Amino acid sequence: MERILATYRIIAPESESRVRAEALAAEQSVEMPLSAIDDDRVLAETVATVEAIRPHADYFDVTLGIAAATTGAEASQLANMLFGNCSLQPEVQLIDVVFPRDYEKAFPGPRFGIEGIRAAAGVQARSLTCSALKPQGSTVEHLANLARTFALAGIDVIKDDHGIADQSPHPFAQRVPAVQEAIDAANRETGRRTMYAPTFSGGSAALAAQARIARASGVKMALVAPMLIGLPAFVELRTSLEIPVMAHPAFAGASRIAPAVLLGTLFRMLGADATVFPNHGGRFSYSRETCLAIAKNARAPWSGLKPVLPVPAGGMTVERVDEMLAGYGPDTMLLIGGGLLSAKDRLLERAREFVRAVGASA
Amino acid sequence: MERILATYRIIAPESESRVRAEALAAEQSVEMPLSAIDDDRVLAETVATVEAIRPHADYFDVTLGIAAATTGAEASQLANMLFGNCSLQPEVQLIDVVFPRDYEKAFPGPRFGIEGIRAAAGVQARSLTCSALKPQGSTVEHLANLARTFALAGIDVIKDDHGIADQSPHPFAQRVPAVQEAIDAANRETGRRTMYAPTFSGGSAALAAQARIARASGVKMALVAPMLIGLPAFVELRTSLEIPVMAHPAFAGASRIAPAVLLGTLFRMLGADATVFPNHGGRFSYSRETCLAIAKNARAPWSGLKPVLPVPAGGMTVERVDEMLAGYGPDTMLLIGGGLLSAKDRLLERAREFVRAVGASA
């Protein structure tokens, strides 16, 4: 019987570790007292096993063997088995997941991955650059002008701010063709292949309509927050879109699921080609180790799954380009948004400095 | 300009409260330095406002005024504006949300609510009873037999365990007609109207297929975890299903969003008719105050929105019926799962005791 090895950190006295581990194994599988189960097959094949208990000073780590069959090879049920009920127990964190061989074959995984994004952007040797259209509430004209400036500067990927969705100042159906057109025009001037990644949001009907508009406009990339639209909806979108997908961490509440597991491993298996995360030393409190762990899980060899492009972001500046690339290596896309926009009238120049700094690092 | 009043608890020194409040207002709206925004309309209408800062001993509470228009009246974007990026800041919790008048009209809200569930169950005066089919991994025959026993005992609602989804031991297409048939047969014997609430899970295609099977089988209620399938998918499902919807809290990680806000207010606005939550004193650590706050938000008057049926659960026993009903009052459905199943051969008797205890409280 194939088992998913899920490791949980439990903040509780070590004397409780065996009892807590067994309670968690029941909670995350049959959710009832084992003594009330008569079926030997269920006891052997369905109940999660306690594979290891590792004590630490103020907490202990428990590795459960969750029967792969209980996830039904489906994203919402996988999330349920990994962190459904225990997400409601504040002393429990999910810190690691190891899937059995070939488990990932039931999920789409990245269609393009790092290599596909590099090919689409026409960038081989150096790291990639990314900036964001902001602020939400702007006119479509303003956002298109901004996109033109970034494209002229040679930014590789221009994404919507994740707060720019389908609201009245900039409806998807008006904004996306206008921004794509501005970028196309700039690309003709520069000879580059800058891509636009608009925000996809809403339910399945809205996502399908947005996919149609994006396709008709020649959009070459998509920005999606899997936790906002839902993990199964993310899988469906990945399956229907034929462009690279950049995952955004909004609503991921990642302090309860280790960021490397959620933004690295899980988003990758579900089909992200690039994954955005808050870099250390910015507006968020992720440590350097956490960030490097996300990048590692995004790119580490994993049977047939393409590696995912790490996109550190969140309050970054041009001054940090060298240090970031030294840490993450070249298979990285740097995302600087507000740090460029602060230059205001000098935006084109600042964006060019960003592009130059990344180019110089190759 | 209509504002959503969202209150966040920030664990940080009080001396930082003004700076942190303003940073949060930018983070949850324009996500860029305000000094780089030239458009006066955006500054006035889009940037979130700091409405109040309330200091406490070790933390402070900040109320932001989030422009309602920025949510685009859509569930994923609403979650994004309320708790998108700041879900990644472990020191920030969302503790309260107040919507402007009529904001909820853009969302479906409960179709049936408490009154509709009471009418469907044929129960007026007393509280309702609920139990769960467990464990996952059982045969369809076992689950159908269990359902028959609960129905004969007079349980009002028999739900799938939330871990029973669409897996091979009990595929939805086989399990749901079989269980519904067993309950129908028992109802003919008892003259009661016991309802079955199967678990809906997966992406939009799977949910649509499950809805067709449920309709064809005469299923009268649905169990859904909004956070597992995604909030916009939950809204779509609520809109297409014509039976009461019971929301399950799996994957809600509710310690970062106040449970009363997520499981009470938000699930209600998005269309749940009943909302399951872990009762105090069970397997989860919610306090009595937290549980009463969920029930309050589920039932409090809210313009045109029907009240939602609170469903305390999670390690409850028949012995606690009186105390629970004293706390929650009669517009409540008590859910006891494992606590009944532990009776094994005495299941019918124990389930009847549960039904009797609730009946006696009327």
The ipTM of this complex is 0.91
Closest CB from A135, A230, A253 relative to B32: A135
| pLDDT at residue B293 greater than cutoff 70 | yes
- The confidence band for A158, taking pLDDT boundaries of 50, 70 and 90, is very high
Arithmetic mean of pLDDT, A12-29: 94
User: Got the DSSP string for A83-113?
Assistant: HSGGGG-TTEEEEEEEPPTTGGGGS---SSH
- Residue A50 pairs in a beta bridge with A64
Tell the burial category of B294 from Cβ atoms under 10 Å away from its Cβ (0-12, 13-18, 19+): buried
CA distance A203 to B79: 13
| Contact state of B76 with A284 under an 8 Å Cβ cutoff | no
| pLDDT at residue A196 greater than cutoff 90 | yes
3-state secondary structure of B230: coil
Closest CB from A35, A80, A283 relative to B250: A80
- Residue B4 pairs in a beta bridge with B66
| pLDDT at residue B1 greater than cutoff 70 | no
CA distance B5 to B236: 26
Q: Phi and psi of A178, rounded to 5°?
A: -65, -45
Q: What percent of chain B has pLDDT over 90?
A: 88
Residues 6+ apart with CB under 8 A from B249: A88, B225, B227, B259, B262, B263, B275, B276, B277, B278
Task: List the A309-313 sheet strands across, edge first.
Answer: A199-200, A222-224, A245-247, A274-278, A309-313
| Contact state of B162 with A278 under an 8 Å Cβ cutoff | no
pLDDT at A286: 86
Task: Answer yes or no: are the C-beta atoms of B60 and B53 closer than 8 Å.
Answer: yes
Nearest CA-CA distance, residue A331 and chain B, Å = 24
Q: What percent of chain A has pLDDT over 70?
A: 99
Which helix (H) or strand (E) element contains residue B141? Answer: helix B140-153
CA distance B161 to B158: 9
- Strands A3-10, A49-55: pairing is unpaired
pLDDT at A239: 94
- Kindly list the residues from chain B whose CB atom is less than 8 angstroms away from the CB atom of residue A47: 135, 137
- Kindly list the residues from chain A whose CB atom is less than 8 angstroms away from the CB atom of residue B351: none
Closest-CA residue of chain B to A74: B202
∠ Cα A159 B40 A201 (to 5°): 30
Nearest CA-CA distance, residue B70 and chain A, Å = 6
Arithmetic mean of pLDDT, A59-75: 96
Closest-CA residue of chain A to B250: A84
User: What does the block give as tokens for B62?
Assistant: 């900040």
* For chain A, the helix, strand and coil percentages under 3-state DSSP, each to the nearest 5: 45, 20, 35
User: What does the block give as tokens for B14?
Assistant: 């009080």
Which helix (H) or strand (E) element contains residue B56? Answer: none
- Alpha carbon A285 to chain centroid, angstroms: 17
Arithmetic mean of pLDDT, A224-253: 94
pLDDT at B283: 78
| Contact state of A87 with B344 under an 8 Å Cβ cutoff | no
CA distance A197 to A151: 13
| Residue in B3, B11, B89, B136 to test binding to A, most A beta-carbons within 10 Å | B136
- Kindly list the residues from chain A whose CB atom is less than 8 angstroms away from the CB atom of residue B252: 87-88
CA distance A257 to B211: 31
pLDDT at A1: 65
pTM of the complete model beyond 0.90: yes
- Kindly list the residues from chain A whose CB atom is less than 8 angstroms away from the CB atom of residue B41: 137
Closest CB from A38, A163, A233 relative to B203: A233
CA distance B268 to B259: 12
Cα torsion B80, B81, B85, B91: sign: negative
CA distance B110 to B239: 10
CA distances from A236 to A109, A147, A170, A203, A204 (A): 12, 29, 25, 11, 9
CA distance B335 to B248: 12
Task: Answer yes or no: are the C-beta atoms of B195 and B222 closer than 8 Å.
Answer: no
Question: Using one digit for the tens of pLDDT, what is the confidence trace for B179-222?
Answer: 999 999 999 999 999 999 999 999 999 999 999 999 999 999 99
Three-class SS of A177-236: HHHHHHHHHHHHHHCCCCEEECEECCCHHHHHHHHHHHHHHCCCCEEECHHHHCHHHHHH
CA distance B353 to B362: 15
The average confidence (pLDDT) of chain A is: 93
Nearest CA-CA distance, residue A27 and chain B, Å = 9
Question: Using one digit for the tens of pLDDT, what is the confidence trace for A267-326?
Answer: 999 999 999 999 998 877 789 999 999 999 999 999 889 999 999 998 889 999 999 999
Closest CB from B29, B90, B232 relative to A163: B29
Place of tokens 């008892």: B190
Give the closest residue to B46 by CA, choosing from B66, B73, B74: B66
Amino acid type, A61: D
Question: Using one digit for the tens of pLDDT, what is the confidence trace for A74-100?
Answer: 999 999 999 999 998 889 999 999 999
Question: Using one digit for the tens of pLDDT, what is the confidence trace for B305-327?
Answer: 999 999 999 888 999 999 999 99
Q: What percent of chain B has pLDDT over 70?
A: 99
| Contact state of B30 with A278 under an 8 Å Cβ cutoff | no
Give the closest residue to B178 by CA, choosing from B136, B134, B217, B212: B217
Q: Which residue has the higher pLDDT, A32 or B53?
A: B53
| Contact state of A88 with B252 under an 8 Å Cβ cutoff | yes
- The confidence band for A217, taking pLDDT boundaries of 50, 70 and 90, is very high
